């Protein structure tokens, strides 16, 4: 079952890319008491993710925060080291990287995709959401191969 607006975010372990290295994070605690804009990409360093998705949230970070977002996070079914390297190359300190190395978060949300045809295995699909105190306030799930509703610009228009 796919998560929907109004649902509580599932409590799953992710790995935060921190200054001192990987740090375990429970989503139940991470999203508690604040408003987080989160977006999911099929994979770090992939074309649309690197050229549009992450850069859009980096560019619009101040605008999102001005509209009440406390933190911006990116998640992908990649390990913390890959997400850390990607953030160093294309990201910024304004975006927290949350590695979903085993895909547990993507599966718990019901937002997975099959990338085996591209040699990527099972991945998280492309989406964005606003999580307010652990509840889904806004959810924007892309269709296969699309990049429209999960962008930072689209989210800004909804806030």
Please provide residue 138's backbone torsions phi and psi, each rounded to the nearest 5 degrees. Answer: -145, 135
User: Could you identify the residue written with the tokens 């099929």?
Assistant: 42
**Spatial contact of 55 and 90, defined as CB atoms under 8 Å apart:** yes
Check 49, 54, 83, 97 and give the catalytic one. Answer: 49
Does residue 49 have an active-site annotation?
yes
**What is the spatial distance between Cα 159 and Cα 141, in angstroms, rounded to a whole number?**
16
- At CA 157, angle to CA 154 and CA 159, rounded to 5? 110
**What is the spatial distance between Cα 77 and Cα 11, in angstroms, rounded to a whole number?**
17
**Spatial contact of 87 and 97, defined as CB atoms under 8 Å apart:** yes
**What is the spatial distance between Cα 149 and Cα 33, in angstroms, rounded to a whole number?**
26
Active site residues per annotation: 49
């Amino acid at each position: 079952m796919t998560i929907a607006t109004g649902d509580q975010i599932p409590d799953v372990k992710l790995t935060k890319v921190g200054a001192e290295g990987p740090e375990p994070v429970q989503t139940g605690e991470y999203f508690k008491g604040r408003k987080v804009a989160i977006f999911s990409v099929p994979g770090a360093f992939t074309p649309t993710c690197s050229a549009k998705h992450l850069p859009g949230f980096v560019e619009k970070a101040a605008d999102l925060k001005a509209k009440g977002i406390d933190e911006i996070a990116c998640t992908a079914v990649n390990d913390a080291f890959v997400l850390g390297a990607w953030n160093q190359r294309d990201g910024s300190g304004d975006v927290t990287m949350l590695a979903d190395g085993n895909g547990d978060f993507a599966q718990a949300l019901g937002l997975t995709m099959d990338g085996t045809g591209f040699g990527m295995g099972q991945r998280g699909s492309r989406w964005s959401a606003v999580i307010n105190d652990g509840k889904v306030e806004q959810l924007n799930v892309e269709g296969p191969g699309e990049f429209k509703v999960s962008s930072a610009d689209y989210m800004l228009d909804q806030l």
